[in-house]
Every structure is written in structure tokens, then in C-alpha cells.
Amino acid sequence: MSSESDAAQGAARATGRAVSQVRRMSGEMYGATLDGGRAVVVKRVADPVALRAEVAGLRWLAEAGAVPVPAVHGGEHGWLVLDRVGPGRASADGAERFGRALAALHREGAPAFGAPPPGGPVEAFIGRAPMRNVPGDAWPRWYAEQRVLPYLRRAVDARTLSTAEAAVVERVCARMPELAGPAEPPARLHGDLWSGNVLWDAEGSAWLIDPAAHGGHRETDLAMLALFGAPHLDRILGAYEEVTPLAAGRRERVPLHQLFPLLVHTVLFGRGYAEETLAAARALDGRHPA
């Protein structure tokens, strides 16, 4: 476990400025104040590959100039140092701004489905789970092979899902081309867009943190927001569609895009999420082609 003094040293190295105050926020995340008053977050990321992936993802999202992302001051020696987003609350107007900005972010695109951010590793992470960024051309096949099935195998190996239960998800993967909707180009995804990774500042504006960024289908980010309950979600989605309308049938595809995060949570946290995964898969498995 790191200490406040370790965090202060990490912040000083990254910013080139002395640290006047530091306090633990949670776990191995610290808030620090630099000489001059600038507030930063100092986060311990011991795995160098995970640190590289997070830095590359943050910079790739920021490069789009769409949704605000905290400035990265450094990502070396096991410490990630970012500007701190001041505390605030979501507002309806801020949610609409976020929806429009998220649409703009997705429209910046990616070279391929599964493409990592520039400088980012192939062997990346989503939360604490490993995630491979292997490019592919057709989204349905790529999503099945690189996102859904790897975590399904892990869940079966851990006996969190039985082989009979896994067969339901496998059938959905086999039907992925008919369930996936119209083809779309790769979008620039945050990749782990649950509500905890969207911070709201004092003006009610949304900021993105903790990405698992890659090229993917834009509906995956939107389905993740719905899965864990983003504030003013209807306002976010309505404003999003003002900029870039979604293909018909989006609501019916939400469980498809939630299979990936649900399986990740099944691997990390166990049987409760396995039940949610199976509910989504059974709903998809029982759907007839349009």
C-alpha cells in the first residue's frame, strides 16, 4: 500500500512542481494540491501495461476535443497524475451537452474495430480484467470473438457459468450478424462508460475518466450507460440522436451490447452478474429475425 508521501513524490515528478498538500481519497488514489493551488489526482497503477493503456486512452479521447477529459500530467513510475475535476452534480442541460459531445467523440472514429489508441498496448484492461485490442473488420464477428467469448470461457472455467448456460450465449454469438443491426463504421469508444466513469463538475458538465478505449460500435458505450443508470439518460440519448441518429431497433439491441460488460462483471464479481448475463442472452436467443 502506497503512502501520502509516495503520492506526493509521484505528483512532483509528473508536474515538476512542489506539492503543498496530499490526502488519501480512496484505496490508492490521492488528491494533491500543487504550489500555486492547482488540484490534481494521483492514482497508483502498479502494472506498467495498465498504466500505458490508461494514459493512451485518455489522450486519444482528449484528442477528439469532444467530451472533456482531465489533462494528463504524467503516467510513469507507477503513478498516473491528472487534473482533478471539481465536485458537482449532473444537470439536465449538462446531460444534453454530454449527449451531443459523446456523439461527436464517437464520430471521430477509429482505424478498425478493436484498434487500440495510438501508443496503447494490445493487451489492455477493462477495470481489473484483461482486454485484448485485436483489430477486426466486421463488427458482429469481432464482437463475438474478441469481446463476448473470451469472458464466457473464463466464466465457465471458473464454474461461474455452467456449460449448458454458456450454450445460450454461444447461440447468440452464432446469430450475431442477424442481431447486430445495420453495419456501422468503427467509433472512438470510451469502452467502460458506466456512470462512475463520468464525473460532473460544478457547472453540471460531464468529464470522462478511467477509459478502456478502443475502436468499437457506438451503441456499446450507450448500452453501458444504461446498464448502471446514468443520470438524465433520456436527455443524454435524445441529444445524442440530434447529432447522430441511431439505427432503427436500438432498444432491442441493448442486451446484445450489454453482454460484454455483464460477462466482464461475471468474471470479476461472480454469480449475481451471471444471472443478468443469462437474462440478456435468453432474451436475444428467443428473438426472431426481423
Would you name the residues annotated as active-site residues? 192
* Residue recorded with cell 494521483: 42
3-class secondary structure per residue, the chain? CCCHHHHHHHHHHHHCCCEEEEEEEECCEEEEEECCCCEEEEEECCCHHHHHHHHHHHHHHHHCCCCCCCCEEEEECCEEEEECCCCCCCCHHHHHHHHHHHHHHHHCCCCCECCCCCCCCCEEEECCEEEECCCECCHHHHHHHHHHHHHHHHHHHCCCCCHHHHHHHHHHHHCHHHHCCCCCCCEEECCCCCHHHEEECCCCCEEECCCCCEEECHHHHHHHHHHCCCCCHHHHHHHHHHHCCCCCCHHHHHHHHHHHHHHHHHHHHCHHHHHHHHHHHHHHHCCCCC
Nearest by Cα to 219 from 112, 116, 115, 139: 139
For residues 140, 56, 240, 246, the Cα torsion angle rounded to the nearest 10 degrees is: -10
Q: What is the DSSP letter of 197?
A: G
